[in-house]
Every structure is written in C-alpha cells, then in structure tokens.
A and B are shown apart, each in its own frame.
Chain A
Amino acid sequence: MEREKECRGTIIRVTGPVVVADGMAGARMFEIVRVGEEALIGEIIALENEKATIQVYEETAGIMPGEPVTGTGRSLSVALGPGLLGTIFDGIQRPLAEMHQVSGDFIRRGSSVPALDPNKLWKFTPRVRPGDSVRGGDILGVVSESPSVPHLVMVPPALSGTVTMCVDEGEYTIHEPVCTLRSAGGEVGLPMVQYWPVRAARPIAQKLDPVDPLLTGQRIIDLLFPIAIGGTAAIPGPFGSGKTVVQHQLAKWANADIVIFVGCGERGNEMADVLAEFPRLEDPRTGLPLLNRMVLIANTSNMPVAAREASVYTGMTLAEYYRDMGYKVALMADSTSRWAEAMREISGRLEEMPGEEGYPAYLGSRLADFYERAGRVRTIGTGEREGSVSVIGAVSPPGGDFSEPVTQNTLRIVKVFWALDSDLAYRRHFPAINWLSSYSLYTGVVNRWWNENAGPGWEGMKSEIMTILQKENELEEMVKLVGPEVLPERDRLTLLEAEVIRESILMQYAFHPDDTYTSPRKLYRMVEMVFSFFALARGAVSSGALTETIRSLPVKSRLARMGTVPENTIDTVFPGIESQMREEFASLGRS
C-alpha cells in the first residue's frame, strides 16, 4: 500500500524519548519515521488527527520543535536472511560490530548501518526450478550460513506463484534476486533477504502440543521442573539470585538448534562476557563454537529505552524465522521486566491512564501476546516441517516481591516457573531455584521421554525426591519450634536424605567445567546412586545405626562431588563410589 504523497510533519514537542509531530496526515500506527535533522529512528505509537506521537529509538537531546519528521511507510521490521548467526545487534537490529567500525567505542546516534552485510557473497544452492509452483514457506534454496545449520531461503509467508527464473548454484549477495515468481500481483524477484514487521507473529500452519523435554543439562530443571520443546518458562528472582547465569547456562547447553539471546535493559559487561566466552565454547553436539548457533540482541540498560521495548520483538521475530526453517529455537529474554518498564516509561510520557504500579493497563495482554508466539508448530510451506520456539524469560521483581504486576502477569501465561530465592543464593546454593515454590506443567508430558530414554523407575525416583524435599520442609518447621532432639531416627534420616539430594543433585556449579552440564544419562546415574545410598542408609537405620554416624561417612562427600565427575568417566568412577558406599555401610554394621 503506497501512500500518495510523502508524509512529512513538524516536531511540536520533545520530552525524553517521546516526540510529538504535527502535520503527519496519512501516517499509520507503528510506522517508522525519521525524526529531526539527524533523521533519528522513531516509531509512531499514537495518532490523533494529524498529530503523531513517536517513540524515538535514539537519544533525543538537542532535538527541537520545528524540525521535520518523515514517514517511511514501513513498520518496524527486521531483515531476515543469511548472516544473522553469530552476530550481535542492538534492539532494532543494528549490528553492533559494524556500528563500532562506523562510530567507535561509544554509540553515536543517527548511525545507520544495514542489519545484514549487503556485499557479502553467500553460496546459494537452488531447490526449485522454473515452472514449479510454490507458496509461502516453501524452500527456494539453501545457504550454508553455519556448517551446522543450513539456512533455508523461503518464500515470504504471504506470497505464492510459479517460479519463472531461478539462478544456478553460485555466490550471491542477499539483495540479488535468486528466483522470480509470477504471482497474483505480477512478477516478483525474490532475494535471499526478506523483511518482517517485528510486532506481528509470523504465520504457522498449526500449533502442536509439546511432547519432548528441552534438555538443559541443568539437573534441577531437567529432573524436577522440566521445560518442553516449544514451551514457556519464567525465572523470577531478586538481583543476584542467578537469573542471568541460568539463562546463560541454557543458551550454552540446551539442545536447541538455534539460540536467540536478548539482553534487554541489562548490563553491558554481561553481553561482553557472552561475546568473549561463547566463541570459545564448543557446541556439544556439533563441536563448533557455540556462538555459531546464536544471535545476540543487546540493548543494555544505558541504551535508549524505546529500543529496549522493541528488542524482545526483534528477538522473537528472528526466532520465528529459524523456526520456520524447521529448527528448534530457544529464545532467552533477560530481563522481561526491563521491557515492561520501558513500556511503563513510554506510557507515562504519553500520559496514559496508569494501571497497577504505574504499568499501562495493557501490560498483561502484551506479555501474553509475546509468550503466545512460542510453541511447537507445523510450519507453513509444502512438506511436513516442524519447528519450535521455546521461550525463557527472566523477571526482575522489585524488592524480590513476586506479587508485583510483571511477575503475576507472566505467571498467568507461562507453564514453567523457576522461582529463585535469595536465601539459597546467600548460602551459595546454585542454581538458587526454590524447589518448593517452583513448578512445571510439562512434567507429565515429558515423563514419557525420560521413561523411554533414561532408564527404569525414573518417574518413581523423581516423585520420591519431591516427597523427601517437602518432608524436609515440614520437619524443619517443626525443629524450629521444638528443637531437633525430639525427632525420631526415621525423620532424622529424611533430613539427611534431603541434604544429600540438595548437595549431590540440585546444587550445580555453573563455572566448573564438568559440573556445568549433566547429560540425561549422567543425571539418571546420579539419581540412582543417591537412591542406592538411601536404600543402604534406611537398612542401616532400621538395624540400629544412628543417622549422625551415617552423616559422617566419607562416601557422602564423594556423592556431593558426583557432578564434577567428567561425563566420559562416570562408568568407572560411579561404580567405585558405589562399592565404597557398600563397604562403609557394611563396616557400620560390623562396628
């Protein structure tokens, strides 16, 4: 839909990131505009007659009434094509490495750099021939963007027609048409790059129910509070409780094909950390640097607040694009609270009627719309492609109080809740996921996978673990009132068992080279080991041994260090621990 004449107005008001322009006849809601002499990027977020309210994605100091505003006719869109992987973008998809070349160590406004390198040549291998009829989502050809991830060049969603031209295998830039299509609207050339408005979900053929777990290598998650592929999870917690570390751990170890990491309003050094560390880490499945399967969106807390609001949508759209190719994508957003606050800040400047704690009334529906874009899906296009977007959002509740609006609204939507707890963090029990208040609604769903793939008795051991942990909590409440001496031996043993579970399984040190990731097989073996210990301990107690004696058995420390045993040595080390366990219990019986 082209506009007849150029939409060009004049600034009449500037307040922080919000600018109002008059004379914007023909402007559309969410249209991207260029603001002021420096042509800063902005987006229309409200219209009243010819007055457009614009959120500006760059610093507005120095901008004044009287300067021009020009419409672009487009809404905020991202470029989708080869070259995304391994790249770090800001919230509106400007590549930070190129920005660095153009404007140096500090971000200068008004720099305009294309999201994807227009000159780079990519080897394109066609998959269609002239005469083929294709529709949205069909594959035109393949680019090897990264050795592990073939990049499928697809027909843009709304398009269909007959291929009239297709280039030969060869090297092309993203803007050269690789195919021509005769469609209802006439002849169209299709380059490798396509654009999509970030605030709109990319279409799918069908949403599918989640079935398999997204394996994270994090024991408490995989064991007790699993997330499914295509599922949604929230990690709320006060500062320092481990939200970012959990997100980084998932970005590193989850069995996703593609990871999109959105640093939304958080620390610059955390992004630098990812940039420094991820190229050095190996993808356990492909042996390639982990950064090769990642896209980073960094809109740190000191970068313009409006772009922070956009950053989560930018990330989500990239995730959907790879999902459409049939990949398992995991999207981490750290932190969704900063996004919500950006909404609040803009809403405040618009003088909208505030809802709870000053957040706009539409907070809940925005969050819901966002998480709704997650899922396991059958993609559009011919053939049975299945892709997924799993979403893990950090939430940063003020004062660590989960009753606040962002946490509460998120809880209504997501299916997994990893509640972080400052008490656990204070004693350096990491991940500080509170096992009593966390939950996963996928437990039932993913049990099948575990029963098939892990080993017998999985479900039973798992629910017994939960029972022991709950019992521990009850007993501790009691001890607080009456002291530990009144506890019968059986209860003392439960406390010991809970301690073993916490220390040997739930605690997992992210910075230890072997503890950082636990495969399903190792996890199963660890759980088995712990249960062997329980069986021996219960036997010993019923034949008169004291829990306090069992507590001091050296093997207990060895169990606590199981996580640090390298994956490839567990078959020799674990049996060793097990026989030590048997010996120590046997000698208990003798003494």
Chain B
Amino acid sequence: MHKGAREYRSVTHIHGPIMVVDGVSGVAFGEVVEITLPSGEKRLGQVLESRTNRAIVQVFGTTRDLDTHATTARFTGKTMHIAVTEEMLGRIFDGIARPLDGGAPPLGEEERDIHGSAINPYAREHPRDSIQTGISVIDGMNTLVRGQKLPIFSGAGLPHNLLAAQITRQAKVRGQQELFAVVFAAMGITHEEAAFFVSDFTRTGALERAVIFLNLADDPAIERIITPRLALTTAEFLAFEKGMHVLVILTDLTNYCEALREISAAREEVPGRRGYPGYMYTDLASIFERAGRIKGRTGSITQIPILTMPDDDITHPVPDLSGYITEGQIVLSRDLHRKGIYPPINPLPCLSRLMQTGIGPGRTREDHAQVNNQLYAAYAQGIKLKGLVAVVGEEGLSETDRTYIRFADRFEREFISQGPGEDRSFEATLDRAWDLLSILPEGELRRIDESFIRKYHPAYRGQKE
C-alpha cells in the first residue's frame, strides 16, 4: 500500500455497521478509515471491500449520527496497527487500545499490524512444558502446556471467571523462574466481571505484569473484532521479542462471534450455520493459531479463551468451531455446579491435546498417562452405571458395579472438587487419584501397568519394590 491519506465526503449508504463511500480511488482492502461526523466526533473504520470507485467500510463503534451529507471518510493508507511496548504492562486500555487508566498513551517501540502473520509451521516448536495449575482435574486429566490454546467452554452463570482467575494465579512451570506476563482481553463482558479480574490481578500483584484491554458490554460491539487482535499482537511482541511467557485470556468469544455475525448480516452474505458466517472457522483460527512457541525463541503464548455455550449446547457453532481449532477444551457442567462442586469441570468432554508430550517421567510422573486413562475409564463407567441405577435401581447391579458408582461419587467430591484458593501439586493430584482408584478391585485397573500398581497403589505403599 502507498499514498498518504485521502479524504472523501461522498458517503452514499449506511446500513447496520457498514458504510459505503463512492467516488473514491486507490482504496486498499483492509485500509483503516477515520470517519469524522458532522459534529466533529471521530470514529474508526476498516475497508471490507474495495472497488474501483467504491469502498465498503465497516465502522467501529456505532453508525449512529453518521450521514450521507457531511460525514467525511479519511482513508489513512494503512492497515490497522498498534504501537507496542513493554511499557504497556500494568496498563488498562479500552477495546481499541485507548488508555482507560488515566495515563498517557504509551510510546510504542514498534508499530505492528494487528492481524499478524501466520507462524510458519516449520518454525513452530512443539509445546511440551507442562504448567501446574494446581487444579487436579486440569493437571491430572487435561494438563495444560506452555504454548497451548485451551479454552474454557462454559455456560451463563457458571464460575468460569473464578476458574480463569485461579489458573492465572496458580499457573507455574515448576523448576523455572522466568519472565511471565498476562494479556487480558474482554469482549462484551459486564463491568462487574471485568472489575473482578482487575481486582484479582491487583490483589495478587499480577496487574504489574498484565496488559488489559476492555471492551465491555456497553461498548460498541463491532470493536470486539479488533480487541483480541490488539491483545494478541501485544502478546506476540512480549513473547517473541521480549522473551516472556504470556498467558492470554480472551473472554467472551461468544460475544466476539456475535459481532462477526452482525457484520456478515449487514453485508447480506450467505449465512452458514445459525446465521454465523461461513468463514467463521477461518476467522477464529486467525485468533487461536496465534498461540504457540517458536524454535529458538524463549517466550511463548498460552491462550485460555473463555466462551459461553448458548443454551449449554456444545454443538453450537461457537464452541464447535472453537473445539475444532483449539488444542482441547475444559468444559464446565451445570450439573456439577448444581451439586455445589467447584470447579464444576466435567472431565469427560474435556481434552488436552498437548498433554501427551507434557507429562510422564521427568516432566510430571511416570504413571501420569496411565492413571489419567484409568480415571477416565472408571469415571465414565461410574456415570454410565448411575444412569442405569436411575432406571432399574441398585439391586440389579453387581458388587463391582456398585463400587464404580461409589468411585464416581467420591471422585467428584474429592478429586474434581477443590477450593478456589487450593493449589495442589502434580504429585498430590496423582496420589489423590490413586487413593480413589484403590476403591476399585485391583483387577479393574487394566489401563495401568502392573509395575505402576505395585509402586503407587495404596495397598502396596510403604512396601519395598
């Protein structure tokens, strides 16, 4: 792209978040537009489609008070950029990177295109440093790894924020003292939710190491399209230029997707499932794939996106497309929440795709993978049998079956459940798992090698190998 800015007063159509400017020339796809309202107020926009004489512009903020007479559109000749710097740590910005904390805009060290570029798959380092979150059901069964993108699939009213804050507080790679940072991007969440995070970060001192972008529920929805990209551009700078291990929390992706849908509808595009645009997978990938590690660079980007599943439906396009891109998912369950269990994580639909390389001897413990497998098999069996009991009663079940039911109950209360301040080590988590598995007859532990049973099973504890 070239040229400086060009200004036009030829807005011809305004429709939803879209504005059409005619009689233009040399407008680039993706170019940033500064819009000046008749009142002198300024807004930003971005070119979605460029034709010889016409530019179709997506307006950030609302299109309220725009007119087709006096509104001017200044095409800046640049795509959307953000000036990034380490000085952003400890600062709070709005959804389009204007300071909210009363401070001056930080002086950028570098201007970066907020869309970033794809990491060359050849340059990626496969993530393998496991993070101890101190939460058993995550560490034991869905271990998080540095450089992973692991979303929380939640539902309205479930304690995903409490969980995300606990992870942020407790997450560590053991045996390593390294530079870390948190980048937090809010998209359409309430003031109260945002305040919860900010105060938790303040209380724990994380705020000094955090960059916060807030697009709240009453902020313009369309700006949500850029907020996560600002956050990730900042994160990339901190991780790959400054060598920090950056934890990125994005919440709530469902609001983000709604903004995408709104723009798509305004452009009268052919809708995909439930009205979301057909390119939503690609669009979400351009966010999630910005997590990772790069060979030869110290830093990393770990993403914990949060999304609320409309109607608790995991097949809804937002969780569904996300799950197809992210490296697993942590799924919250309303049932467990109703039972008073925190964190109400139902392990069955959960997955950490990078767990395999992050656990085992020298990383967590040699029995980890097999214990995990056994926990899954046993809990799934317990849940299945509980379903059966509901229909036919316990009498019909064998002794072993009843033991599985007991296992499932205790597993929920003693393994899944823990305090929001409770920080368990990998070993504590695994030992707890063994205590529970020992409820089952030893012959049922068929997913675990006999040698591990002899080493870790409580029945043999204290005995010589």
Contacts and interface: CB of A to CB of B under 8 A. Distances in A.
Interface stretch (A180-188, A453-461, A481-489): A481-489
B396 A484 contact: yes
Interface stretch (A190-198, A214-222, A271-279): A271-279
Interface stretch (B47-55, B66-74, B182-190, B413-421): B47-55
Contacts of B297: 105
B99 interface: no
A548 B30 CA distance: 68
Contacts of A99: 120, 122
Interface string A485-522: 11000000000000000010000010100000000000
A399 B315 contact: yes
Interface string B320-360: 11011101110000000000000000001101011011000
B164 interface: no
A556 interface: yes
A240 B125 CA distance: 22
A358 B270 contact: yes
Given A105-B240, A300-B289, A64 B1 contact: yes
Nearest to B286: A302
A345 B349 contact: no
B53 to A, nearest CB: 8
A14 B49 CA distance: 6
Interface string B354-396: 1011000000000001001100110011000000100111011
A428 B373 contact: yes
A366 interface: no
Contact of A398 (B48, B320, B329): B320
B102 interface: no
Interface string A60-73: 11111110000000
Nearest to B141: A428
B278 interface: yes
Interface string A225-260: 000000000000011100000000000000000000
Interface string A287-302: 0000000000010111
A400 B315 contact: yes
B443 to A, nearest CB: 5
B126 A273 contact: yes
Given A108-B117, A341-B281, A268 B388 contact: no
Interface in B248-304: 269-273, 278-279, 281-282, 285-286, 289-290, 292, 294-295, 297
A105 B315 contact: no
B131 to A, nearest CB: 16
Contact of B446 (A66, A96, A108, A557): A557
Nearest to B145: A269
Contact of A105 (B294, B320, B348, B446): B294
Contacts of A114: none
Contacts of A557: 443, 445-446
B317 interface: yes
B282 A556 contact: no
A564 B52 CA distance: 66
A62 B31 CA distance: 6
A298 B121 contact: yes
A396 interface: yes
Given A12-B52, A64-B27, A354 B117 contact: no
Contacts of B294: 105
Given A13-B51, A480-B391, A269 B443 contact: no
B439 interface: no
Nearest to B236: A106
Interface residues of B, number: 87
B28 interface: yes
Contact of A481 (B119, B272, B391, B397): B391
A321 B130 CA distance: 42
Contact of B119 (A106, A422, A425, A486): A106
B278 A428 contact: no
A88 B123 CA distance: 12
Contacts of A272: 121, 124-126
A16 to B, nearest CB: 8
A462 interface: no
Nearest to A548: B398
Contacts of A429: 377
B127 interface: yes
Interface in B439-464: 441, 443, 445-447, 449
Interface residues of A, number: 83
A446 interface: no
B261 to A, nearest CB: 14
B28 A96 contact: no
Contacts of A548: 398, 400
B276 to A, nearest CB: 10
B121 A401 contact: no
Interface in A416-438: 422, 425-429
Nearest to B324: A239
Of A276, A483, A561, A564, chain B has the most CB atoms within 10 Å of the CB of: A483
Nearest to A335: B324
B26 interface: yes
Contacts of B449: 561, 564
B122 A269 contact: no
B391 A483 contact: yes
A400 B321 CA distance: 11
B31 A552 contact: no
Interface string A542-562: 000000100111101100110
B239 to A, nearest CB: 12
Contact of A344 (B278, B396, B443, B447): B278
Nearest to B349: A426
A365 interface: no
Given A99-B120, A344-B278, A511 B27 contact: no
Given A66-B52, A275-B122, A302-B289, A267 B272 contact: no
A323 interface: no
Interface in B34-79: 48-52, 79
A338 interface: yes
B282 A62 contact: no
B26 A64 contact: yes
B376 A63 contact: no
A277 B400 CA distance: 41
Interface string A391-418: 0000010111100000000000000000
Contacts of B121: 88, 96, 263, 268, 271-272, 275, 298, 300
Given A348-B278, A484-B392, A484-B398, 16 more contacts: A13-B52, A15-B50, A61-B115, A105-B120, A105-B240, A238-B320, A239-B320, A239-B323, A240-B328, A272-B124, A301-B289, A358-B278, A399-B317, A428-B377, A428-B380, A554-B443
Interface of B: 1, 25-31, 48-52, 79, 113, 115-127, 147, 240, 269-273, 278-279, 281-282, 285-286, 289-290, 292, 294-295, 297, 315-317, 320-321, 323-325, 327-329, 348-349, 351, 353-354, 356-357, 369, 372-373, 376-377, 380-381, 388, 391-393, 395-398, 400, 441, 443, 445-447, 449
24 contacts: A14-B29, A14-B49, A59-B115, A61-B28, A62-B1, A105-B123, A108-B117, A239-B320, A239-B323, A240-B329, A265-B282, A272-B126, A275-B122, A354-B270, A357-B272, A398-B317, A426-B380, A428-B372, A429-B377, A482-B392, A485-B395, A552-B400, A552-B443, A557-B446
Nearest first, the 8 closest Cβ-Cβ pairs linking A and B are A483-B392, A399-B315, A427-B380, A61-B30, A301-B285, A483-B396, A302-B289, A272-B124
